[in-house]
Amino acid sequence: MTSPEELLKRHKAVMPGWISLYYDEPMEISHGEGFKVWDSEGNEYLDFFGGIVTTISGHNIPEIVEAVREQAGKVMHSSTLYLIENQVKLAEKLIELSPISGDQKVFFVSSGSEANEAALLFATQHRRSSEVLAMRGSYHGGSFGTMGITGQSTWRPTSRSALDVTYAMPPHHSYSSLYGRYEKDDPEFAKACADDLRNLIRTATTGHVAALIAEPVQGVGGFIELPPEYIRGVKEVLDETGILYISDEVQTAFGRTGSHFWGIEESGIEPDMITLAKGLGNGLAIGAVVGRAEIVDSMSGKLHLATFGGNHISTAGALANLNYILDNDLQKNADEVGGYLKDRLVNMAKESPLVGEVRGRGLMLALEMVGPDGEPNPAAAVRFLQACRERGVLVGKGGIGANAVRISPPLTITREAAEEAARAFEEALAVTGEAAKVG
């Protein structure tokens, strides 16, 4: 048995000063199977965070493992010099499924940050402007450009980004809305927020903005949904001056939100580009921009490439993963099991003043942990996470107040496993409530 101190000591070389781990006692994941993972001490867990929403199809899926193994035995090469068959197949499939109509192209990279960098590059080139709009509370990556437009101060460096960013106000969950007089689903609220965007563009930008980038459901922000009515209003405002819409689907793609294959689809609007990563590779390092051809082509005449973008291994694995998602209709499962789990969470929350709100859809659900006056309660979120671990369930954390508990298992999760997890959540909440009384 390795002590927590020994484990941390062994990982010293990869622990820069800003890294903080989820649990008091660090955990090393050694292997996984379906929606379960095991730590290096042999403890079994239900994986209800999917490695930050990365695991869509589950762990150790034979079809995906075999595709990667087979490709590794053939060739592993640079992705940019020669044509790669699986890259084309994957791109064609993504275009076929994409929420964008007309002529499209795909640009492959290796992460979500790179995908957003590329989409922003294409948009700013195409529009000949380096001004962008982003949402408060958003997260778009850890590269220099994407950090500079991320709408959470904790994730932003003090050094400046090359992009000029102006933040729009997302209609937050009703619980902490700055426009408190409206309820989240009130169409008047959505309209007021869209009108606010029109004013913002007029008063805080030069008027010639390249693009707006937004997550349909803010991931790191704590699974905050942008209401469809709001997205429709935003699109109308953007269309008035030709501003492009980039939907950051790094967390919301591939059926995660249950009702639709892409997060943006619920609103019915058509974005100009979508960005993908995480679930695209089910754990492999791959990202992509899918967009209108004339925008993706905006670097024509220049040079731009990513050595590993869409390489042999990542595209072989991602293609097998996408086929697995479609063949097993994982979106339907996310809708059904997610709906069941949300009902359980809503019932659980009724009994506890610690949960201010249950939100999200499909298998992207969150609990907003609050104090007596509705203020963010990050300590309760930490205790809840720990209590879940002790009951064999891994969940995530997030939110601007670090007080949101994020629940996002692989989309293969069964109803029985969701029941088991719901029982663990109920117990964990009771324990957290007791601790709050004592504390």
Q: 368 and 264 in contact (C-beta within 8 Å)?
A: no
Residue from 32, 58, 112, 233 in contact with ligand PMP (CB under 6 A): 112
Q: Which of 142, 180, 242, 353 binds ligand PMP (CB under 6 A)?
A: 142
Q: Are 232 and 409 in contact (CB under 8 A)?
A: no
Q: Which is nearer to ligand PMP, 47 or 436 (CB)?
A: 47
- Judged by CB under 6 A, does residue 219 bind ligand PMP? yes
Closest CA to 408 of 323, 325, 321, 341: 341
314 binds ligand PMP, rule: CB under 6 A: no
Pick 34 or 216: Cβ nearer ligand PMP: 216
CB of 143 to ligand PMP, least distance (A): 7
Q: Is 396 in the site for ligand PMP (CB under 6 A)?
A: no
Quick one: CA dihedral 192, 198, 199, 204, positive or negative?
positive
Rounded Cα–Cα distance for residues 135 and 253 (Å) = 19
Among the listed ranges 158-166, 214-222, 234-242, 337-345, the one in contact with ligand PMP (CB under 6 A) is 214-222
Per CB under 6 A, does 207 bind ligand PMP? no
**Residues that contact ligand PMP, how many (by CB under 6 A):** 16
CB of 111 to ligand PMP, least distance (A): 4
Q: Does 116 bind ligand PMP (CB under 6 A)?
A: yes
Q: Which of 55, 79, 87, 113 binds ligand PMP (CB under 6 A)?
A: 113
Residue 430 neighbours by CB distance under 10 Å: 15
Q: How far is the CB of 406 from ligand PMP (least distance, A)?
A: 11
Q: Is 251 in the site for ligand PMP (CB under 6 A)?
A: yes
Minimum gap (Å) between residue 432 Cβ and ligand PMP: 25
In whole angstroms, what is the distance from residue 400 CA to residue 126 CA? 33
Exactly one of 94, 250, 358, 385 binds ligand PMP (CB under 6 A); which one? 250
Strands 36-39 and 29-33, how do they pair? antiparallel
Task: Give the nearest distance from C-beta 283 to ligand PMP in angstroms.
Answer: 11
- The CA distance from 130 to 351, in Å, is 49
Residue of 59, 140, 235, 389 that binds ligand PMP (CB under 6 A) = 140
User: Could you tell me which stretch among 14-22, 212-220, 254-262, 317-325 binds ligand PMP (CB under 6 A)?
Assistant: 212-220
For ligand PMP, which residue of 107, 122, 139, 230 counts as binding (CB under 6 A)? Answer: 139
- CA 205, CA 198: separation in Å to the nearest integer? 11
Q: Which of 47, 117, 164, 248 binds ligand PMP (CB under 6 A)?
A: 248
Dihedral sign (CA 21, 26, 31, 34): negative
Query: How far apart (Å, rounded) are the C-alpha atoms in residues 214 and 99?
Result: 15
Binding site for ligand PMP (CB under 6 A): 52, 111-113, 116, 139-142, 215, 219-220, 248, 250-251, 277
